[in-house]
Each structure stands twice: as structure tokens, then as C-alpha cells.
Chains A and B, each alone.
Chain A
Amino acid sequence: MSTSRKKWYKLDNAAKMIPSTTQGTNTRVFRICCELNEEVDPAVLQEAVDTTVQAFPYFSSMLRKGLFWYYLEESSERAVVCEDDLPACHPLYKPGVRSLLYRVSYFGRRINVEMYHALADGTGAFVFVRRLVTNYLILKHPDAVPPDYERLEMTEEEDSRDAFNHYYMHGGNGLKQLRNMSTRWAFRLKGPKDPNMENHMVEAVIDTAKFVDLAHTFSTTVGILSVALFIEAIIDGMTLRERSRKAVTVAVPVNLRQYFPSATNRNFFGVIMISYLPDQYTGDLGEIIDSVKASFEQQLSEDMIKKTMSSYAALEHNVAVKVMPLVLKDLSVQGFASISKMGMTCTVSNMGRIEMPDELAPYISYFSAFTTTPNAQITIATFRDKMTFGWASGITTHMVMCAFCRKLHERGIDTTIATNDHDIREA
């Protein structure tokens, strides 16, 4: 197809910053895994991918550089399924390389879908993964699916609308957003970095019912409890001096579709910052939960969400920002990202409950997800009786996950973990 006739898309507001901040271990790639109860059939998986992408033409894009902004351009390249043979969350976007921004691989009983964050957020990517897994299982087990089962009606229709632009109303203060990015310095996780700049993943699987019961004992939600538990685990590794001097700040992505109805699969999320001062911690998890709950309530009010979203979009619509050449924008965004990194300890993202058709649920064990960031990110996913915490970091040691798993055990919750550590064979 002639380049000039290819379809192209502007990046959404959140995606505009992503290529500029892609460096080192922060490849801006996230991985969604589906562990089945049987070995993956590669030929069937390839067929499922070919079928699924037809409903998501937007995903068959490559990232290009314009003079002022990055943009996505339609690609005729076909995603080829292969066995997982690359380091997890290996870069998908390499400047100058015209390649797809997602890859599908398999390993044993797992189907892995990795996606560059400029293409979609976790919610949008999960729509794709759900349809892929559905199509795969239907192809693999046609007898197990009811005869009137319609593939296309099982998942939401793909929508490539830029929801930020759709809901933007002039009046937000984009500069306020920049100022907020340079908040006070937070405690930074420490440890030896991977010499090859690869990401280290830890996947912790627990029983959903037990975690929900634990949340009920504290009269809170699963999301708030998760954030509180990780704050507790981080404090466990801080010295007394560090506890008195720095806050533990957790970034929590918020799905804006809950506040602004949209079927878009593209990025449509905001980030709230939950700060806790460890010097006030007396060993009672309830204190952390109360503090986190108050922060959530204050920042998740509809008014605050609207203001935050408008400030994101206001920056993009600022004339001076618009006409700044991309090369300068890249440098500016990298600079601001470095500053904002100092104000954040880690990110905790909750994908929520993943729904799959009842007919196909017996073939699926669980879902898990991992997202690369400059520091560390935990991505939580729940499928039926299994809840997973996916940790991704460029640090080779896992003090936080160690403390987290031990504290879960103390509270009666057993954990099964899997990592890609110590799995490097000598050449």
C-alpha cells in the first residue's frame, strides 16, 4: 500500500509523552499473560491472532515521528506468534524501525501479549487479550462452546477514538500539572540495577477469596488494601532515618472510563498520587489503610478527576507546546519525567476483575500483567479464584515483594511466585 494512502492516527493525550520517556529498563511495554490449564497450540494461536486483529485494525500500527508530534501509521505487517524467547517486556518501539507495537508469544501454558503503551492502556489491551483468548479457546475447543455462540458479540467493539480530546473542555491549567509533577521527593527503591537493562518480573498468585476476606476485616476495598499492603512492605525496608525524612508515594492509575463513558481502547487514564509519611507508622496496617482511603476519597471526587483530566489536555492544547519541535518536546518531557520520578516510590495499578464467558472459564487458570516504569510497578489482576500481583522493575533484588509475601503469609494468605530471575544461562 502506498505510504500516502495509509490511515494514520494522532496519539492520545497520555500516549504523546510515552515515546519521549522510553529509555533503559523503562521500555513502556506492558505484558498481559493468560495461563491456561493446557499447553498452548501455536498454530491455533496464530489463527486466533489473525482473526482477532481484524476487529482491532488500530492495533496494526507503527509509530512515526512528525515534526511536532509522534503519530501512528497503519501497517500491513502481520503479527507472527512465536515462542517466548526474548527478555520480558523487551522494547517494541525502536526509533526508525517500522514494526508493530505489540507481540504475541507463548510459553508452556501461557499466552503472552506485550504492547507498547502508546497504543493502548491496560483496559484497552485487556479487551484485545480477552477477545484473543476467547477466539483461541473457541478454535481449540469448538465442541465446548454452545452452538449459538457468537464470537463478535462477546467483547466490546473496538473504538480508536481519542477520549481525552472528546471530553476536553478549555479551562484546565496545564502548567499546574507540570508543577504537580515536581512534588516533594519521595523514598526511592534501591538495589542493584540489571547490567543489561532488562526488567525483572515477580508474579505472585494468591487466593482471591482470602484477600477479599482480609479487606472485609479492615472494612475496606481490595484496591485500597493492596496499596496499603505495598506501602507497609516498602516501609519495612526503610531505615528509621529514611522513615523520618521521606514519604512513600504511590502512583495509582485511574481508569477514566468510570467517570467519562467511553468505549475507546486507547489510553484513557489519569494518575493520582497517594502519599504516606512513615514517621507516623506504629505497625498497625489500619493506620495506613485509613490514610490511603482518605487520599482516594479526596482525589477520586468527580470534580477533582475533571480538573486533572482537563489539566492533562490543556497542556496538549497550549499553543506554545503545540508548535514546539518534537526534538525539543522530547528533551522537555524527559526532563520533567526525571523530576517527577523523584516524587514517586512506585506505581500500583489494579486491573480489577477480568470477566470471561462461563463456557471458557474452565480452560483458564489465571491472568497476570506486568508494566515497565522508571522505578517499579505492581499490576493487580483478578480472575475468579486467583488474584495476581505482577511486579516489574529494573532492580535485580525484590525486597518489597519479599516483605509483601511474608506479610500476606502472616495474615493467613499463601503465595505462589514465579520470576524471570536467575534464569540467565551462561553463554
Chain B
Amino acid sequence: MLFCNKCNVNIRGSKAECPLCGSPLIGTPEDPAFPVLPPHKHTLRSVFKVIVFAFLVLMIVMGTLRYMIGPSAGWATAVMLWSPLGLAGVFITMTYRNNILKLISAEFYSVMVLDLLIDLATGWYGWSVAFVIPSCFVALVIVSFFVGRAVFGSHGGYLMYLITAEILSFFQIFFILADRNPFTYIAVAVMALMLILFLAEMIFFYQDFKNATSRTLHI
């Protein structure tokens, strides 16, 4: 057993110095209590730092070019508006990398929200609510269904994701009522489709829905 003369403690294992005071040890090493391990590296954090730095550099460079070149550098403005979408995508991927359905849902919702904001920032032409958001809802439901079936097999594992998308799609009605949607047919058709899917799930998979909501929505 190793021994530290300063602390007057016996020390297990094979140590180069006293873990308490750092003094040299005397004695013979004995069986350790903990294994010797290689250093554990956190590579994901480093990758994220590089991505954030690259994004900030891009924003600064584009902003500088826009200032120097003037209004004709609209492409620089467009890059500045759209690059947060890329950063959000990376952030969402890293956050939800362990849950494929959550990742898919978060990516689609972030696309909808950011497109809405870009549409608003560029004078509101309504393309986000007329085309992008309805398409995103349909794509989200289709992708969630097939990925959910592949990952979980049974409905219970992915039903809440489908129902959440279907319910949120009804919010499109507010843009229609506020006369902010220049082409309402796609949004209305999508809402009708979502309503049909929702009713089908309630009628044919009510027990799965009830079980899923009892655990997910318990307060």
C-alpha cells in the first residue's frame, strides 16, 4: 500500500503522487479501486463552436459587403436573412440528434417560423403562408408517419407527433381570416386533409391516442 507522510493516509492503486496534497509517496502500489481510463473528449462542443464562429463571420462579411457595394448587393442581404435558418438547423440537429421524430418536427417547424419571419421582413408577399407552410405540414405528416412506423412499429410511439402537426396546421386559418394569405386554396385544402387524418386517428386509434395523451399530457 502506498503512503503519504504529510497526510498520513494509505493510498490504494498506483499513484505518482498523493491525490490530496501532491506529495511524493512511499510504499508499494496495490489493487486500485477505480480503472485507468483514456481522456473523454467532447468533440460535439468543438464542432458547434466552429459552426457558430463561421456563422458570425459570414454575417459580418455579408453586412460589410452590403454596406460597401450598396443596394445592388441584394444577394448579401438574402444570405444574411437565410443563414440563420442554416444555423437553426444545425442547432436543432445537435439538440435532438437522439430523437429522430423530434428532430424532424423541430426542423420543419423552424423552417415554417423562419420563413414567416423572412416574409415579414421582406415586405410581406404572403408566399410563406400560401405555399411554404401548407407544404411543410403535409411533408411533416408524411415523413413522421413513415419514420415513426420504421422506428416504433406501433402507432403509440409517433401518434402524438402526427396529432400535434394536424392541430397546429389549423392555425393557418388566422392568416386567412386576417386576409394575409394571397392564395388560400392550398392552406384550406391542407387543413381539410389534416382534419380528415385527425378524425381517422380519433376513430380508429382512440385507445392509442388515449394512452399516449395520458402520459404526455399528465399534469
Q: Please, how many angstroms separate the alpha-carbon atoms of A107 and B13 in the complex?
A: 13
Which A residues are in CB contact (< 8 Å) with B49?
A: none
Selected contact of A71 from candidates B31, B42, B155, B218, CB within 8 Å: B218
- Residue A85 is within 8 A (CB to CB) of chain B in the complex: yes
Which B residues are in CB contact (< 8 Å) with A3?
A: 152, 154, 156-157, 212
B12 touches A405 (CB 8 A): no
Interface size on B, residues (CB 8 A): 49
Q: Please, how many angstroms separate the alpha-carbon atoms of A8 and B216 in the complex?
A: 10
Which of B95-103, B132-140, B173-181 makes up part of the contact surface? Answer: B95-103
Chain B 91-129 interface residues, beta-carbon cutoff 8 Å to A: 95-99, 102
Chain B 67-98 interface residues, beta-carbon cutoff 8 Å to A: 95-98
Chain A 404-419 interface residues, beta-carbon cutoff 8 Å to B: 405-406, 409, 414-419
B21 touches A402 (CB 8 A): yes
B interface, over-half SS: loop
Which B residues are in CB contact (< 8 Å) with A198?
A: 40
- Residue B19 is within 8 A (CB to CB) of chain A in the complex: yes
B10 to chain A, nearest CB (A): 4
Given the known inter-chain contacts A2-B154, A71-B215, A107-B34, please indicate yes or no for A417 contacting B12, CB distance below 8 A: yes
B97 touches A96 (CB 8 A): yes
B155 touches A4 (CB 8 A): yes
Selected contact of A405 from candidates B9, B39, B41, B208, CB within 8 Å: B9
Chain B 199-219 interface residues, beta-carbon cutoff 8 Å to A: 207-208, 211-212, 214-219
A406 touches B217 (CB 8 A): no
Give the one of A69, A97, A405, A418 with max B CB within 10 A: A418
- Residue B56 is within 8 A (CB to CB) of chain A in the complex: no
Q: Please, how many angstroms separate the alpha-carbon atoms of A405 and B217 in the complex?
A: 50
- Residue A401 is within 8 A (CB to CB) of chain B in the complex: yes
Jot down 17 A-B pairs with beta carbons below 8 A, ordered by A. A3-B154, A3-B157, A4-B154, A4-B155, A71-B215, A87-B37, A97-B98, A405-B8, A416-B10, A417-B11, A417-B19, A421-B19, A422-B19, A423-B35, A424-B39, A425-B37, A427-B38
